[in-house]
Structure 1
Amino acid sequence: MSKAIKILLPLLLFSLSLQAERIKDIANIVGVRDNQLIGYGLVVGLNGTGDKTTSKFTMQSIANMLESVNVKIDADDIKSKNVAAVMVTAKLPPFSRQGDKVDVLVSSIGDAKSLEGGTLILTPLTGVDGRIYATSQGAISIGGKNERGGGVNHPLAGMLYGGAIIEREIPLDLYSKTGATLSLKSSNFQNAARVQESLNQNFGTQVAIAIDPRTIKLQRPESMSMVEFLARVEEVEIDYNRENKIVIDERTGTVVAGVGVKVGPVVVTHGEITIKITPEMSADNGAMDMGEGIKLSLNTNTLSTSGQTPTVSSVARALQRMGATPKDVISILEAIKRSGAISADLEIL
């Protein structure tokens, strides 16, 4: 038997049965979303850690910037190492208004060593349509986290918290609309039907109709504004059915599986390890009890059931206890899935 290891495979267990969920947590309102912004800029004030003179685009950008303030110089004559070319990205939240501020991420695209201590000079941020929606400027923060838990800790990427000012709004007129559309975050016929039924019962009238397993059309009551209607819709709870799924991250050796995902009858041999799952009781009285209806035969290094139907989580834990490596556990689960003994979907990251 392979030797035990200290940290094998983090197994996260989630209940995948019906559970109450607010509609705002399982669905999005179509049209109410973030928009991506991007820009190209220069970071100045670096202590010799900027782009080298071999980065021609940086030197040309410096020359262009200086020309905008009436200083004309040839790009080939610039020898500064205190400037770095960067890409600036941000998200424009829905209903943002002129003057609102958003966070931006600044990332080096040249051969700079660090952006620490640098200042981003005025950079326009554009959308996919090429129009300018925000401008960004300010001192760069390397490391740490913002108020929403995000952040970076890398010398070639930094944040400007509230460093972009919204200059152009994206119009979205909810006030005059009589209807809206919900989009479930995952397609499911039962969940779509439950959303429709729960909303109609909550409002006492036909306000929702599911047109496919992901989309629900809404019609606001005449007595309510659209904002009031959507606010109430988002707080309605439904019995949400989460589909069984096993997620495996091969890079980290992490397996995420529901406690209710059963493993059917199967025999799998992987190296020195054998798993035998049958409806009959195990006949090996000398086997070690691993818990949850699973026994380990030390003579044959075999996992077997004791008349119960094991789950993916119990099999994974038993494999850990007998010294299987994360790679072994993942390979065994993949083989069991291919054999048809696991009905849940298997997703490999």
Structure 2
Amino acid sequence: MVKRLITRSLCCTLLFGWLGIGQAATGEVRLKDLGTFLGWRDNMLVGYGIVSGLAGSGDTPRNQATRQAITNMMSQFDLNLTQDQLQSRNVAMVMITASLPPSANVGQKIDVNVTSMGDARSLGGGTLIMTPLRGPDRKVYALAQGPVTVGGYRYDANGNLRQKNHPTVGIVPDGGVVEVAVRADLVTEDGYLNFVLKHADATTAERIAQRINQTMGGGSARSVDADTVQIRAPGESRSLNQYVASIETLSVVPDQDSRVVINERTGTVVAGGDTRISPITISHGDIRVTVATQYSVSQPDLIGVTGPGVRSLVVGNSEMSVDETGQTVAASYPHGSVGELVQALSKSRVSTRDVIAILEAIKAAGALHADIIVQ
């Protein structure tokens, strides 16, 4: 346990020492990594179908929805069966989900996820029957079919059960085929592109607008709010795809909020190198209270004499000791950073969990100019 705390403290010291370089170490980041253009997003597809070919691990006959789905499917092949005639456990009703890219052509293949909707025990070895995948507008955009790959298993025999992962969830690689072409509409009606930041920040949005104006010409972009930069669309003489690609490759230095992230379960502390601390003195003490109990047995004077009230007596003697070790005192320098403070505490052999408690106390005292996020 002591070795683990020392290792965590050393890792934390190295991490803060590396982050303590300051804002000068913050490099430029591509706009492609800071946000996306409004309208460039994936499209969710969903459908329900049937997985067949299961080795007795499908839905039970009491699942009425599965029997109804099988009846509907067989009626398409001019085979009329009643639900009472369907007693197979080799079929399972499933829900299929997929993600359609922002730009997709007819015939393009996509992966589909398959999840059981009934009481099937496993989808391993099954094959998904052709199923239409619909969008929010109820239109069919893709068709899904193929063998289901399950990253687990379930074997149940004579009361013995062996299971790994979730065998009722699977995937059909390249099992979906796009039937309707999709194109992302990036240009608004008034002829602008909207670049949306992943993390809203007014300073970063203004820097992006200035960088675009320096490269594409004055008046090409302006920051609308903390998370949107409005960019003038190119004319007919220039390709929209070429224009978007040239903007995405531009780089700026994003502004960062001062935050200290604390994970009390693992003892991890992460902070930016520019997180400042006002001059403050820390007094950290450690008091250990130990209670030791010794038990002794008092036997009757005459061995072998029995009777009412004659029995052995267990006597417990407790001893309590208090061990107060020397206090650890650390003082940060004027305009110091969190990294410098943690290095000073580490040299004083303060454990990582104690560092977390100290940082929370500094925040409560108003000397830590950052937001503390506890996970």
TM-score normalized by structure 1?
A: 0.76
After TM superposition, list the pairs within 5 Å mapping 1:65-76 onto structure 2: 65-76=73-84
Read off the aligned partner of 2:171 and give its amino acid letter: M
Q: Which piece of structure 1 moves more, 29-38 or 51-60?
A: 51-60
Residue number among 149, 159, 166 corresponding to 2:178 in the alignment: 166
Deviation at 1:339, TM superposition (A): 4.5
CA offsets 1:140-175 (integer angstroms, 9 cap, x no match): 12239xxxxxxx963221111111111123344569
Confirm or deny: 8 A CA contact 2:112 2:172 kept in the other structure: yes
Match of 2:146 in 1: 138
Question: Is the CA contact 1:272–1:301 (under 8 Å) kept in the aligned structure 2?
Answer: no
Q: Report the counterpart of residue 214 of structure 1 in structure 2.
A: 227
Counterpart among 17, 26, 31 of residue 34 in structure 2? 26
Q: Which residue of 2 aligns with 1:342?
A: 368
In structure 2, what is the Cα distance between the partners aligned to 1:341 and 1:110?
57
User: C-alpha displacement at 1:322, in angstroms?
Assistant: 5.0
SS in 2 for 1:209: strand
Shift of 1:20: 0.1
SS in 1 for 2:230: strand
* Cα distance between partner residues in 2 of 1:203 and 1:95: 26
Q: Which amino acid aligns with 2:210?
A: E
Q: For residues 29 and 74 of structure 1, do their structure 2 counterparts lie closer, same or farther at Cα, with a shift above 3 Å needed?
A: same
Question: Is 1:224 aligned to residue 238 of structure 2?
Answer: yes
1:250-277, Cα deviation, whole Å (9 max, x unpaired): 666654433443455375879959xxxx
1:39 shift after superposition: 1.1
Q: 1:97 to 1:70 in 2, by over 3 A?
A: same
User: 1:245 and 1:307, CA in 2 relative to 1: closer, same or farther beyond 3 A?
Assistant: closer
Task: Describe the shift of the 1:67–1:259 C-alpha distance in structure 2 as closer, same or farther (beyond 3 A).
Answer: same
Do the aligned partners of 1:266 and 1:341 also contact (CA within 8 Å) in 2?
no
SS at match of 1:163: strand
Cα offset, 1:122, TM superposition: 1.0
- 8 Å CA contact 2:94–2:114 kept in 1: the answer is yes
CA-to-partner distance for each residue in 1:253-310, whole Å, 9 max, x for gaps?
Answer: 654433443455375879959xxxxxxxxxxxxxxxxxxxxxxxx9547553254446
Partners of 1:53 and 1:271 in 2: how far apart?
66
1:311 aligns with 2:338: yes
In the TM superposition, what is the alpha-carbon distance from 1:236 to its structure 2 partner?
0.7
Shift of 1:196: 0.7
Cα distance in 2 for residues equivalent to 1:211 and 1:37: 32
- Deviation string 1:31-85 (CA, Å, 9 cap, x unpaired) is 0111111111111111112122233322222222222222222224422221222
Q: Report the Cα distance in structure 1 between the residues aligned to 2:127 and 2:240, rounded to whole angstroms.
A: 43
Q: Which amino acid aligns with 1:84?
A: A
C-alpha separation in 2, matches of 1:313 and 1:108: 54
Cα distance in 2 for residues equivalent to 1:19 and 1:143: 40
Mapped contact 1:4–1:324 kept (Cα < 8 A): no
Q: Which moved more, 1:329-338 or 1:109-118?
A: 329-338
Call closer, same or farther: CA 1:219–1:5 in 2, change over 3 Å.
Answer: same
Change (3 A) 1:94 1:307: closer
Alpha-carbon distance in 1 for matches of 2:262, 2:118: 36
Shift of residue 347, structure 1, vs aligned partner: 3.4
Letter in 1 for 2:259: K
d(CA) in 2 for partners of 1:117 and 1:333? 54
Show the counterpart of 1:184.
Answer: 197
CA distance in structure 2 between the partners assigned to 1:126 and 1:268 by the alignment: 63
Pair 1:347–1:121, CA change in 2 (3 A): farther
For the pair 1:63 / 2:76, whether they are aligned, the reply is no
Q: Which structure has the bigger radius of gyration?
A: 2
Distance 1:234 1:255, change over 3 A: same
What does residue range 183-202 of structure 1 map to in structure 2 within 5 Å? 183-202=196-215
What is the SS of the residue equivalent to 1:304?
Answer: strand
State the alpha-carbon separation in 2 of the partners of residues 143 and 301 from structure 1.
55
Spell out the pairing of 1:244-323 with structure 2 (5 A cutoff): 244-248=258-262, 254-264=268-278, 265=280, 300=325, 302-308=327-333, 309=336, 311=338, 315=342, 318=346, 322=350
SS at match of 1:97: coil
CA-CA distance at 1:99 after TM superposition: 1.1
CA distance in 1, matches of 2:168, 2:270: 33
Say which of 256, 274, 285 aligns to 1:242. Answer: 256
How many angstroms apart in 2 are the aligned matches of 1:344 and 1:49? 55
Q: Partners of 1:344 and 1:246 in 2: how far apart?
A: 7
CA distance in structure 1 between the aligned counterparts of 2:210 and 2:169, rounded to whole angstroms: 48
* Distance in 1 separating the partners of 2:39 and 2:210: 23
Kept after mapping to 1: 8 A contact 2:122/2:168: yes
Q: Quickly say closer, same or farther: Cα 1:46–1:237, change in 2 above 3 A.
A: same
The question of 1:129 aligning with 2:140 is answered no
Partner of 2:161: none
Pairing 1:34-53 to 2, within 5 Å after superposition: 34-53=42-61
Matched, 1:91 2:104: no
1: CA distance, partners of 2:61 / 2:326:
64
Q: Decide whether the 8 Å contact of 2:284 with 2:328 is kept in 1.
A: no
Q: Can you give the 5+ residue segments of structure 1 that lack an aligned partner in the other structure? A: 145-151, 274-297
Q: CA RMSD in A?
A: 3.6
